[in-house]
Chains A and B, each alone.
Chain A
Amino acid sequence: MENNVFTGQYKSRKRKDIFFKVLVLIPSGIVVALLVLIMAQVVVNGAKALNLDFFFQQQKPFGEVGGGIVQAIVGTFMVLAIAIVIALPFALLSSLYLYEHNGSRRANGLLNVVNTLQGIPSIVIGVVIYSWVVVPQKTFSAFAGGIALSILMLPLMISMIKESLDMVPPSYLEAALALGVPRWRAIVEIILPAAASGILEATGLGIARAAGETAPLIFTAFGNPFLSLNFKGPVSALPLVIYEYIKSPYDDWHRKAWGAALLLVLFVLALNLFIGSRKKR
């Protein structure tokens, strides 16, 4: 009798256990299915747009079929180049500040500012850079877009570089100092090279994060139907082209929007995978 009570209870507990497992497995299955579906649609729809013209031709006039999005590909590289040139030195120097003043009140304050910056919606960065750069210059420009993206990538890069600096064994610095090397040289020539791979990863992730951003570019780089290498003038970018093309009534442009999306996703993924594979080593 006692035994029956025991097995009865056990059975109901076992049933609950299985029920719970199903309860969490089904939604997880839905999530995985959605992810696969989205990826598959980007690849399948995007692949239809890809051909040589797509990569090397400029946009055709409204409504005409054909042409490509070379202006957006080049524009994306232009704004990203500006962004990284601005962001990397500031990210390096301010994460070195955090490294040197680790735990101090000022460093903690800076860390708080960095975390808060990280949470700023990208559209807000767009409107502020509009009034900082576009209004005084009286023109949209690749330059303004690059500045907006640099502010977007800064906080992420600072916290990542800070992390990789902290991973360098303190004995490196101590050994250098004990040999009489000035502190700044020890940091520049010993600590920074030791953290080089982390710095590279931070740069890669910063680029990956910024490459897909549209909101900060709408009011800064603005977009441009023509190929432009002028940093002082408006340029197009892959995300801008997606946003603009899908709103248009032309099927050919819709196809190109998907193509641009595939290109963008592949670029961001390649960066992420590259960094992921480095991290494992």
Chain B
Amino acid sequence: MNDRRFNALLGFAALVIVFIFAGFLFTLVVQSLPAVKQEGAAFLYGSEWNPVTTRFGALPFIIGTVMTSAIALIIAIPLSLSAGIVMGEYVNSSWVRSVLNTLINVLASIPSVVFGLWGIEVVIPLVRNLAMLVGAPPYGAGILSASLVLAIMIIPYMSSMTREALMNVPAGLREGAFALGLTKQEVVTGIALPFAKKSIFAGILLSLGRALGETMAVTMLIGNATRIPTSLFSLGNTLASVIASQFNEAASDVHRAAMMALALILLIITMIAGWFGRTMMSKGTGAYGK
């Protein structure tokens, strides 16, 4: 062993990592070709997904993915921002803070399949009752159940990122504002939140990336229907959940290829969300020389 060989070894490992990523893209593109050739651009906007007649349009799943993630964000944002503000601005005792931190970390580490299990036993009956109350079909499973659990799953990330963003606000700004006689609320909404808004937004985008790609909990709760969801109580599928429920039972090579194409779409969407989030994050922390 010498320095040159050692460096070559490191470079080799680095190359392997890059090749893994390139290989992912390559494999997904190549494997999805049969489906894309058959459907053309209609793969993206076709609303029929039927393995029997081998018609493959991804629109129901794209809509399902966007719907569940959007609803989850709408539910999770106010809850997470509040929790982040409380942890970052209001909790003074280090004991309470560490309890809250531990709790959030615990929730973040619970596997997705356990959330799915919890959703099946707790959320689905609740949603079924709600559906009967408003006269919707009482499946229980569906877009709303999936979105609710998805929201709970992203709360820990979003709230700890909000807290972190608020804690990065320079103490001097806050002290100056208090010294001028501002109330806590004025300091938070007038100084801290505007200062941290880019990082908070980045946290929301990164959470969105997680919600878009989340598989197991959604698969267990969304009801596995291959039509375009029309209401909160509709059964549906997301890009990830349709792959999870159909891939092993693929009826034909085109069917499997079509699911590879879905995986490719999912990968591209999450890559864009993650890239935006990271860019925003570096801008957010780059401000004020910190």
Q: A: which residues have CB within 8 A of B?
A: 13-14, 16-17, 19-21, 23-28, 30-32, 34-36, 38-39, 41-42, 45, 89-90, 93-94, 96-98, 100, 106, 109-110, 113-128, 130-132, 151, 154, 158, 182-184, 187, 208, 211-215, 218-219, 222, 239, 242-243, 246-247, 254, 257-258, 261, 264-265, 268-269, 272, 276
Asked whether, in the complex, the Cβ of B240 is within 8 Å of the Cβ of A27, the reply is: no
A117 to B240, CA, bound (A): 17
| Binary flags per residue of B61-101, CB closer than 8 Å to A gives 1, else 0 | 00000000000000000111111011100100000000010
- Which of B132-140, B206-214, B227-235 is the interface stretch? B206-214
- Contact A130–B117 (Cβ < 8 Å): no
* Residues in B neighbouring A211, C-beta threshold 8 A: 111
C-alpha gap A224/B81 in the complex (Å): 43
Interface size class of B (residues with CB under 8 A): 35 or more
Which of these, B12, B114, B260, B263, contacts A42 with CB under 8 Å?
B114
**Chain B residues with Cβ under 8 A from A208's Cβ?**
109
B21 CB → nearest A CB, Å: 5
Find the B residue at minimum CB distance from A27.
B82
Inter-subunit contact A131/B113 (CB<8 Å): no
Q: Given contacts A28-B86, A120-B267, could you give 20 more A-B pairs where the C-beta distance is less than 8 Å?
A: A17-B183, A17-B185, A25-B90, A38-B152, A39-B106, A42-B114, A97-B14, A119-B274, A121-B240, A123-B213, A127-B247, A131-B260, A154-B20, A187-B6, A212-B110, A215-B216, A239-B216, A242-B117, A246-B116, A261-B114
Kindly specify which of B23-31, B44-52, B167-175 makes contact with the partner chain: B23-31
A90 to B9 alpha-carbon distance, docked (Å): 10
Q: Decide if the interface of chain A is mainly helix, strand, loop or mixed.
A: helix
Binary interface encoding of chain B residues 108-133 relative to chain A, with 1 for a CB under 8 A from any of its CBs, else 0: 01111111111011100000000000
Interface string of B239-262 (1 = CB under 8 A from A): 010011001100000000001100
CA distance A26 to B18 in the complex (A): 46
Q: Check B10–A121 contact: CB distance below 8 A.
A: no
B226 lies within 8 A of chain A by Cβ: no
> Does B278 touch A at the CB level, under 8 Å?
yes
Chain B residues within 8 Å of A, Cβ to Cβ:
1-3, 5-7, 9-14, 16-18, 20-21, 23-24, 27-28, 31, 78-83, 85-87, 90, 100, 102-107, 109-118, 120-122, 152, 155, 159, 183-186, 188-189, 209, 212-216, 220, 240, 243-244, 247-248, 259-260, 263, 266-267, 270-271, 273-275, 278
Give the CA-CA distance A80 to B38 in the complex, in Å: 39
Which residues from A are CB-within-8-Å of B274? 115-116, 118-119
Q: Which residues of A contact B113 (CB under 8 A)?
A: 212, 214, 239, 242-243, 261, 264
7 closest A-B pairs by beta carbon, nearest first, are: A212-B111, A121-B213, A93-B13, A184-B6, A119-B274, A27-B82, A20-B185
By the criterion CB–CB under 8 Å, are A127 and B83 in contact? no
Given A23-B82, A218-B247, A242-B117, also A13-B215 (CB < 8 A): no
19 contacts between A and B (CB under 8 A): A16-B183, A17-B183, A20-B184, A23-B82, A28-B87, A31-B80, A31-B83, A34-B152, A41-B121, A41-B122, A94-B17, A97-B10, A100-B7, A109-B18, A119-B270, A121-B266, A127-B263, A212-B110, A242-B117
Measured between beta carbons, the chain B residues less than 8 angstroms from A23 are 82
Query: What chain A residues lie within 8 Å of B278 (beta carbons)?
Result: 115
Contact B263 A110 (CB under 8 A): no
Q: Is A268 a contact of B109 with CB atoms below 8 Å?
A: yes
Give the nearest-CB partner of B245 in chain A: A218
Q: Given the known A-B contacts A17-B185, A23-B82, A121-B215, are A265 and B110 also in contact in the complex, defined by CB atoms under 8 Å?
A: yes
Q: Is the CB of B215 within 8 A of A38?
A: no
Q: Which residues of chain B are within 8 angstroms of A124 by Cβ–Cβ distance?
A: 24, 28, 213, 263, 266-267
- The distance from the CB of B260 to the nearest CB of chain A, in whole angstroms, is 6
Q: What chain A residues lie within 8 Å of B214 (beta carbons)? A: 121
Check B100–A32 contact: CB distance below 8 A: yes
